[in-house]
Structure 1
Amino acid sequence: MRAKRVIGLAVGIAMAASVGQAWAQARKAPYFASIGAGEARMRTGPGRNYPVDWLYVRSGLPVRVVETYPHWRKIEDPDGTIGWMQANLLSDTRTAMVRGGEIRTLVEEPRRGARVLWRVEPKVIGRISDCEDGWCRFDVRGRAGYIEVAHLWGVEAGEVVE
């Protein structure tokens, strides 16, 4: 009886993994993701035989996936650079980068005039959640508050992120 349970568990895990892979491959571009590896190479084409254009060493950097190919994603980084990256180097964790040349504020509530909690410099990366009505909750290593979507790269205006 124990052997049947172990085999059943293994089959269930394998089925869940292939369903997850099928979902990831079926996801329609464009969408936002983030770099999930400490080092990630951007290549000129969808394969290891293509030259490396960039080496990213900033885990969590938000990217826009603009095209999908089996095991590869064509991405755009916050500076507008476009190239190919292996899909397993990307994460579904939603992050964003503060854009512009000014220091921005993180506020207590998603509205103008709310109490200021933190200040963030341009190019700071944080996790986003609760995006709605032009605001996102932005968390930088446990220091969180709301910021206007217009000040972020990694989320579209009008997009709802839970």
Structure 2
Amino acid sequence: MKRFSALIGAALIAVLGCPAFAQETERGPVTNLPLPRFVSMKAAEGNVRRGPSLTHRIDWVFKRRDLPLEITAEHGHWRRVRDRDGQGGWIHYSLLSGTRTVIVEDELIDLHSKPDPDSMTIAQLEMGVVARIDECALDWCRLMAGGYRGWARKTALWGVEPGEILE
């Protein structure tokens, strides 16, 4: 089956010029969910350890509820995560949520009424603001932050893949 998938992927690259179709998604051995994938901090504080158990040393403490994190590995009840700066380690799964959030990476971004740069600006978000994702189209995400809801370009956000579509 893998060989067949690889052949189909190679054919799609040749025809469409799109390598994303060729790669099989790696699945987590515990959850069978895609790796890597984005989640957020459920807790206001979470210890990030050097390895997947309570006996491992704490390297970091994430102190921000809703902070977007990327899961890169799974082991039992533990998930290896990283933040937008690449910092991370192992965290207990109970401290994580499937709620999708993003963090603003540009100095200042506009939230638009529609996924169109010429549409009305509803609000502006500064670098470091964490916003919940309502939905994402190909190049835009509809975000909720500070009581405002609007569309922002994906290129200014960390916590969502460039071609990812969320409904």
Shorter-normalised TM-score: what interval? 0.7 to 0.9
Shift of 1:45: 0.6
* Number of the residue aligned with 1:41: 47
Ranges in structure 2 where 5+ consecutive residues have no aligned partner: 1-28
The answer to whether 1:59 aligns with 2:31 is no
Question: How far apart are the structure 2 equivalents of 1:42 and 1:78?
Answer: 15
Are the aligned partners of 2:30 and 2:74 in contact in 1 as well (CA < 8 Å)?
A: no
Question: How far apart are the structure 1 equivalents of 2:67 and 2:30?
Answer: 19
Question: How far apart are the structure 2 equivalents of 1:28 and 1:158?
Answer: 15
TM-score normalized by the length of structure 1? 0.82
* Number of the residue aligned with 1:31: 37
Give me the CA root mean square deviation: 1.4
TM-score normalized by the length of structure 2? 0.80
* Number of the residue aligned with 2:140: 135
Provide, for residues 53-83 of structure 1, a one-character-per-residue CA deviation record: whole Å limited to 9, x for no partner: 1111100000000111110000011111131
- Bigger helix share: 1
**SS state at 1:157 partner:** coil
Q: Matched residues, percent identical?
A: 35
Residues 121 and 30 of structure 1: CA distance in aligned 2, closer, same or farther (over 3 Å): same
Structure number, greater radius of gyration: 1
Are the aligned partners of 1:25 and 1:70 in contact in 2 as well (CA < 8 Å)?
A: no
* Number of the residue aligned with 1:155: 160
Question: How far apart are the structure 1 equivalents of 2:42 and 2:30?
Answer: 15
* Number of the residue aligned with 2:13: none
Are the aligned partners of 1:103 and 1:121 in contact in 2 as well (CA < 8 Å)?
A: yes
Amino acid at match of 1:61: L
> How many residues are matched?
139
Ranges in structure 1 where 5+ consecutive residues have no aligned partner: 1-22
Once the two structures are superposed, the pairs formed by residues 115-130 of structure 1 within 5 Å of their partners are: 115-130=120-135
